[in-house]
């Protein structure tokens, strides 16, 4: 796997430049997989997944979202989405996808979103499903249900998700693998939520992802895979991710697969059964791309 980095203009006109990773396979790429990471983390955490994708022949693009990682530039900017706010983060998905297509014209593009990245991907797909050849939602949920539980005037508090679990570090909700949890806690670019302004923008923008009228705009031949752990606090025991899949089916999307892994928590790519999860995602991509 060959890793290169660059910066590209964001999807808004606010001057933000997105720090972008590209992981390339040996030989010609069969398709593009675009990764959208979650809240309070960064794209470099997906190198292991990218390795599996490149070994399967995919070229992988992943940006650090605005307010995250090397796009943020400093810890003081963590969680701040800037003047463009949540909508700009959603629009940035289009900027990354357009850049990937410019470098690899004529091959399919799949969008993989995890957690907050999957929320943004759900919103992006409402208007831009024609730009995608497949959609994978990991650690996702029925966004309108979850954001209704957030205080729109306060910073998003990730620690609240740990209430059902042991409190060794406060981040046990992420994975049953203690080494993965410890690596997250030790990473200075992880563990924060969106600031109050960005939280309000997200809370106001995401309810449309559950609107049947908006979902009707998603093209009916877009293959969609929804993967989650049954013990992920966002999954509602699996019911909320099943709801996501059913909403797409009700909107007329013909190829929707929902897989819930028993006992797995939020970061299924870093879970004890991560090899199974990765293999299932690769099988889906191989079938639809």
The rounded distance, in Å, linking the Cα atoms of 164 and 98 is: 41
Pick the catalytic residue: 78, 99, 104, 266? 266
Where are any strands of DSSP class E within the chain?
2-9, 17-24, 31-36, 58-63, 109-114, 134-138, 224-229, 256-261
Pick the catalytic residue: 92, 133, 231, 232? 232
- Neighbouring residues of 119: CB distance < 8 A, sequence distance ≥ 6: 113, 140, 141, 143, 202, 206, 209
Query: Other CB atoms closer than 10 Å to residue 258's CB: what's the count?
Result: 19
Let me know: does 126 contact 209? Beta carbons within 8 Å. yes
The rounded distance, in Å, linking the Cα atoms of 33 and 198 is: 27
144 catalytic? Reply is no
78 catalytic? Reply is no
Let me know: does 34 contact 109? Beta carbons within 8 Å. yes
232 catalytic? Reply is yes
Pick the catalytic residue: 10, 12, 115, 129? 115
Q: Could you give the residue numbers annotated as active site?
A: 115, 232, 266
């Amino acid at each position: 796997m060959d890793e290169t980095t660059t910066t590209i203009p964001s999807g808004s006109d606010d001057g933000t430049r997105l720090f972008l990773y590209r992981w390339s396979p040996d030989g010609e790429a069969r398709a593009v997989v675009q990764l959208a990471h979650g809240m309070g983390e960064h794209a470099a955490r997906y190198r292991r997944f990218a390795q599996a994708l490149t070994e399967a022949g995919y070229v992988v693009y992943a940006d650090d979202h605005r307010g995250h990682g090397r796009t943020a530039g400093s810890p003081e900017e963590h969680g701040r989405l800037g003047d463009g706010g949540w909508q700009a983060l959603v629009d940035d998905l289009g900027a990354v996808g357009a850049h990937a297509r410019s470098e690899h014209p004529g091959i399919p593009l799949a969008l993989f979103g995890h957690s907050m990245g999957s929320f943004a991907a759900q919103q992006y797909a409402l208007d831009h499903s024609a730009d995608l050849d497949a959609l994978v939602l990991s650690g996702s949920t029925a966004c309108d249900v979850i954001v209704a539980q957030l205080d729109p005037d306060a910073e998003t508090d990730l620690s609240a998700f740990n209430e059902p679990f042991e409190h060794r570090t406060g981040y046990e909700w992420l994975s049953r693998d203690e080494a993965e949890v410890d690596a997250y806690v030790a990473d200075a670019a992880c563990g924060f939520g969106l600031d109050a302004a960005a939280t309000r923008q997200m809370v106001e923008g995401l309810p449309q992802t559950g609107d049947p009228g908006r979902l009707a705009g998603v093209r009916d031949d877009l293959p969609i895979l929804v993967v989650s752990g049954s013990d992920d606090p966002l999954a509602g025991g699996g019911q909320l991710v099943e709801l996501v899949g059913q909403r797409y089916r009700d909107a007329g999307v013909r190829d929707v697969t929902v897989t819930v892994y028993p006992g797995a928590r939020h970061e299924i790519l870093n879970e004890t059964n991560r090899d199974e999860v990765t293999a299932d995602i690769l099988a889906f991509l191989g079938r639809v791309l």
